[in-house]
Amino acid sequence: MFPLSDSSILIKLGDAIDPFINQRVHALAAQLNLNPLEGVSETVPGYASLVIHYDPLVRSQAEITDWLSAQLDSNAESALRPPRRIEIPVIYSGPDLAFVAEHCHLKVADVIRIHSGTEYTVYMMGFMPGFPYLGKLPESLVAPRLATPRSHVPAGSVAIAGGQTGIYPVDSPGGWQLIGQTSLALYDARREPPFLLAPGDTVRFIPEQSGA
């Protein structure tokens, strides 16, 4: 645990993308949200760390550190909600599917088989609200981001970048390799909660035929 600035503290629970470390991160975030402290404005979980933002005019760094230390000593796992297993139907026809196959020295059918044959964990949400970072992507499918991001990526696009896969919840710019499209709405303002996925959920992609 150490300060990032005069209004934020970083807690590192590990140095790897690991489901058990990530579960501890989200358990701690849930614990902090269940036991709020006046002056703490936001908790931001990552793969293996948690950033706590606070108002230094309301709480001192020492007060925040003492509060966090007490939470670290508690049974944070009990604050987690039970994870869900969600199946995502995908039409594998993205504009970068052929590139990914060529880059990985695979046939397109193999890319689809490997991608849909893996169960993924939702490690965290970002870079936009509702965007799930899913891992780990099998090593055989690791591919780079685009050299130049697209100005428009349709909502529901299934994509990969590095060792991760994800789904764009809304129309937006983006630089990941697009390999498919889902008809499921990851974001719906009328739904409570509005986001389909949450950290800790597991995801399986189910291939569909175009027009099915």
Do 74 and 89 lie in a common domain?
no
Do 54 and 155 lie in a common domain?
no
Q: What domain range is 31 assigned to? A: 2-79
pLDDT tens per residue across span 27-61: 888 888 888 889 999 888 888 888 999 999 999 99
Q: Which residues, 6 or more positions from 10, have their beta carbon under 8 angstroms from its beta carbon? A: 1, 2, 3, 4, 49, 50, 51, 52
Do 97 and 75 lie in a common domain?
no
Question: Residue 135: which pLDDT band, with cuts at 50, 70 and 90?
Answer: confident
Q: Which residues, 6 or more positions from 127, have their beta carbon under 8 angstroms from its beta carbon? A: none
DSSP 167: E
Average pLDDT along the chain: 88
User: What's 65's domain CATH number?
Assistant: 3.30.1360.40
Do 196 and 103 lie in a common domain?
yes
Which residue, 35, 64, 79, sits at the end of a domain? Answer: 79
Token reading at 92: 């594998």
- The answer to whether the CB of 109 falls within 8 A of the CB of 98 is no
Residue 57 backbone phi and psi in degrees, to 5: -80, -15
Token reading at 40: 């703490």
Do 89 and 146 lie in a common domain?
yes
Which residue, 28, 44, 79, sits at the end of a domain? Answer: 79
Alpha helix segments (H runs only) across the chain: 19-34, 61-72, 97-103, 108-116
Token reading at 12: 């590192």
Do 30 and 98 lie in a common domain?
no
pLDDT tens per residue across span 66-117: 888 887 766 555 555 677 899 999 999 999 999 999 999 999 999 999 999 9
- The answer to whether the CB of 11 falls within 8 A of the CB of 58 is no
Do 111 and 188 lie in a common domain?
yes
Q: Is the pTM of this model over 0.85?
A: no
Coil, helix or strand at residue 190: coil
Cα–Cα distance measured from residue 121 to residue 135, given in angstroms and rounded to the nearest whole number: 6
Which residue, 79, 108, 135, sits at the end of a domain? Answer: 79
Q: What is the pLDDT of residue 212?
A: 44
Instruction: Provide the number of structural domains found in the chain.
Output: 2
Q: What is the pLDDT of residue 80?
A: 59
pLDDT tens per residue across span 8-25: 999 988 887 777 888 888
User: What's 122's domain CATH number?
Assistant: 2.40.100.10
Do 99 and 8 lie in a common domain?
no
